[in-house]
């Protein structure tokens, strides 16, 4: 457990450093040989990629929430999870989201933040969201309890969903790669016959990488 925590902390710092480096270097003028680099007027490929990603997330936030005030946080969270999953595809690295401590920690932090934000904006009216419109008065206590449990369960469900998806993908790749290694070691004929399953394994790996 200690090694998992150490790996999570180490690769969290590495992912954050990578994100900062990408954003910092995407707008630099790489043709300038001086140490005092300047921003490019014409965007490069990295800048276009980041701008397209930012515009896509901005559209989703505006359509779903209607306010762009939460965009920096959502963009940072999305990019952190994306880069963490992509870094995990590199051999001998560690995927942060395969740690349930990180996944549950992210979901609990977001739930607490959303609750505090809702209470600060809506005050006591925030609790009316737990009562569906048109509910008979006799059913209010039961429905409030059900809605409250459903609201708190999201902290577990979202974190476990991310954790389970990542662990399942890594476990599948590990099982298939071990099986293929045994087949490649079984002789010349089996080696040739294994090329087709190996091609399917590469296709699965590319598909999982694309989904991440």
What's the pLDDT at 47? Answer: 78
Mean pLDDT of 155-177: 77
> What is the per-residue DSSP string for 152-210?
HHHHHHHHHHHHHHHHHHHHHHHHHHHHHHHHHTS-HHHHHHTHHHHHHHHHHHHHHHH
Q: How far apart are CA 78 and CA 183, in angstroms?
A: 39
Residues 97-124, mean pLDDT to the nearest whole number? 85
pLDDT at residue 18 is higher than 50? yes
Domain boundaries, the chain: 1-26+43-96
The token pair that represents 61 in the structure block: 């936030």
Token pair belonging to 10:
């180490």
The band of 210, judged by pLDDT with boundaries at 50, 70 and 90, is very low
pLDDT at 209: 46
Q: Mean pLDDT throughout 138-145?
A: 80
Please tell me the distance from the alpha carbon of residue 60 to that of residue 47, in angstroms, as a whole number. 20
pLDDT at 42: 63
φ and ψ at 39, to 5 degrees?
Answer: -75, 145
What is d(CA 7, CA 98) in angstroms, rounded to the nearest whole number?
Answer: 11
**Six-digit token string for 191:** 């080696």
Cα within 13 Å of Cα(154), Cβ side:
12
Average pLDDT, rounded, for the chain: 76
- Of 143, 69, 81, residue with least CA distance to 107: 81
């Amino acid at each position: 457990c200690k090694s998992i925590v150490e790996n999570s902390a180490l690769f969290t710092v590495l992912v954050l450093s990578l994100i900062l480096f990408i954003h910092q270097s995407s707008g630099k003028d790489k043709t300038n040989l001086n140490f005092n680099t300047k921003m490019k007027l014409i965007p490069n490929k990295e800048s276009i990629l980041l701008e397209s990603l930012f515009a896509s997330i901005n559209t989703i936030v505006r359509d779903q929430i209607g306010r762009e005030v939460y965009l920096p946080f959502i963009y940072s969270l999305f990019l952190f999870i994306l880069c963490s999953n992509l870094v995990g595809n590199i051999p001998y690295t560690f995927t942060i989201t395969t740690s349930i401590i990180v996944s549950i920690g992210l979901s609990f932090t977001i739930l607490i933040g959303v609750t505090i934000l809702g209470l600060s904006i809506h005050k006591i009216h925030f609790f009316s969201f737990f009562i569906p419109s048109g509910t008979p008065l006799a059913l209010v206590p039961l429905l409030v309890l059900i809605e409250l449990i459903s609201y708190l369960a999201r902290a577990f469900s979202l974190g476990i969903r991310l954790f389970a998806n990542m662990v399942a993908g890594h476990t599948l790749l590990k099982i298939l790669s071990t099986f293929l290694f045994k087949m490649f070691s079984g002789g010349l004929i089996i080696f040739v016959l294994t090329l087709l399953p190996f091609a399917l394994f590469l296709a699965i790996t590319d598909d999982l990488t694309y989904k991440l």
